[in-house]
Structure 1
C-alpha cells in the first residue's frame, strides 16, 4: 500500500509538472484549491446522507462547482434521495470500462453526482497499470470547488479511509442518547486510528427541537472529547426537526429545494455560511486525497 501511495504521488507530481510545461498549470492550481469534506456518523438513521445531499445543493446555490460522491459502499442511497438511477459507478472506472467523465452524472439540482459501488476495497490490490488509470481518472475531479463524500455509518475500513484522506470531517448526530454515544465512539476511533496528522473534525446536531438543545448536546460531546481524548472539535450548528424533511425524502426531492425558506433549509444555509467564513488556508486537493486514501493502513 505504501509503495502504491508513493508511486501515485510521483504520478501526480509528474502530471502536474507536465501540465505546467505544456501551459496547463491552471489545472494543477484548481486541484490544489479543491475542498474535500467527508460526512460521517457513528450510527445509521441520524440523517447523514440527507444532510450531505442538501449541503451539496446549498454550496451549488452559492455558485460553487460541487461533486457529491456516494462513499457508502454497503448501503448506498444518495441516488434515492436525488431520484436518480445510476447506470455506471466507480467500479466501472476501476475496471477500466468507463472514464470518470462518463460516470459523473449531472443533476437537476446544480451538482454532479458519482455513484459508489460494492467491492471498492479492490483498490488496495490494484496493479500498477490499474492504479495509474484510476489515479489519472480521479485527478480530473480537481476542477471542482467542493467534493462532498457521504461515507457509510460506523467504523468500517472504507469509512476510515475516506475520513483519513479528507480535508475536513463532519460528524452528524442527533439528541438521542444512542446517537450521542455513537458519535463519541466514531470520534474516538478517528482520533486514535489516524495518528499521523490532526483531523479537522466538526460536529452537526440534527433533528433538534431548539437551537439551545443543539448547543447543549454539542457542548456535552465537545467537553467529553476534550477531557478523555485531548482533542478539540468544532460545533458547526444544528438542523431542526421538521416534518418537511421526511416528506421530502418520500418525494425524493431535497428539502432545500422543496421549501428553500423552511427552518431546516435556513439553518443549513447558515451552517454553509459558517463553513465559508472558516475557509482553510490550504486545501490539499484530490491528488493528496487519493494518496492518503491509499496510504491508510487497514
Structure 2
C-alpha cells in the first residue's frame, strides 16, 4: 500500500510539473537593440531543441513579435477579456510550433477588470498547458509596466548592445530593478557584437559598474554577432532561425538556448494561469 501511495504521489507530482513553465522576462533599457527579434528567435531555437514555448508579447504600446513572425493578428488579450473571444482565437502558432499570445492594449486596462472577468479569463487559460518556457517580451525603457512584468517572472534577461547609450540605459533599468528590490539577479545578453572579444569586454564593463554600485548579481548568458542576414530576415518578416539557420546570429542564439536548458531548475515554476494571476495582482 505504501509503495502504491508513493507511486501515486510521484505521478501527481509529474503531472503537476508538466503544467509548469519557466517564466523568463526579456527586457532592455532602450528600444532598437533587437529585443523582440531575440525573443522570437530564442523561442524557435528552444522549440527546435524539443521544448514547448509560449511567447507573451507584453509590450503594451508597440508589440511587434507578430510582425517578426510574419503574422498580423486580428485579436489580442484585450479581446479575450472584454469582447468574449476564445483564447484559441487569439493564440498564434508560429515557426516550429512556437505559440504567440499578443498582449496589446488589454494589458493597460487590467485595473478596470471585474472579478468575474478575471476569473473567466483565468479559466480560459486552463487550455494552455504543457509549456516548458514562457518568454515575456516587454516594452523598452523604465516604467511601471516594464517593472511590473519583471516582477512577474522567475528569471530576467537584459539585452544590450556595445553602444554607450544602450549600456547607459540598461544600467538605469537594472538600477531601478535593484532600487525597488524587484530582482536580486539577472542574465545579460550582448547583441550586435563585432566578435566575442568585444562582447566579453562589454559585459565586463557593465558587470563592473553593476557590482560596484548596485546590489544585483549578473550572469553572462552570451552574445549575438552583428549579422547582415539578421537585417535581411527582418525585412522578409521571417525569423533568421528559419530563413538563415546556419548564420552567425543563429548559431549564437542556439548557444544561448542550450545554456538556458542546461541551467533548468525544477523549483519556482508556474503555468500560464499562475503568470496572469501575478499580473492581475501587480497591476490592479
Q: Same fold (TM over 0.5)?
A: yes
Distance 1:35 1:145 in 2: 6
Match of 2:282 in 1: 296
Distance 1:297 1:97 in 2: 21
**Superposed displacement of residue 110, structure 1:** 2.0
**Unpaired segments ≥5 residues, structure 1:** 1-19
Q: Is the CA contact 1:203–1:235 (under 8 Å) kept in the aligned structure 2?
A: yes
Distance 2:52 2:205 in 1: 35
Between stretches 110-119 and 235-244, larger displacement belongs to 110-119
Q: TM-score, normalized by length of structure 2?
A: 0.90
Show the 5 A alignment for 1:33-72. Answer: 33-72=20-59
**Superposed displacement of residue 200, structure 1:** 4.0
Between stretches 130-139 and 199-208, larger displacement belongs to 130-139
Match of 1:258 in 2: 243
Q: Secondary structure at the match of 1:143?
A: coil
Match of 2:194 in 1: 209
Match of 1:225 in 2: 210
Q: Secondary structure at the match of 1:206?
A: strand
Q: Using a 3 Å threshold, how does the CA distance of structure 1 residues 224 and 297 change in structure 2: closer, same or farther?
A: farther
* Structure 1 residue runs of 4 or more that deviate by more than 4 Å after TM superposition: 23-27
Show the 5 A alignment for 1:280-295. Answer: 280-286=265-271, 287-295=273-281
* Aligned pairs, number: 274
Q: Is the CA contact 1:164–1:199 (under 8 Å) kept in the aligned structure 2?
A: no
Q: Secondary structure at the match of 1:233?
A: strand
Distance 2:192 2:125 in 1: 35
Q: Secondary structure at the match of 2:37?
A: helix
Q: TM-score, normalized by length of structure 1?
A: 0.86
Q: Secondary structure at the match of 1:147?
A: strand
Query: Deviations 1:206-261 (Å, cap 9, x if unpaired)?
Result: 00001011111111111111111121111100000011111110011111111111
Corresponding position: 1:30 with 2:14: no
Distance 2:225 2:149 in 1: 27
Match of 1:166 in 2: 153
Match of 1:138 in 2: 125
Q: RMSD value over aligned CA atoms?
A: 2.1
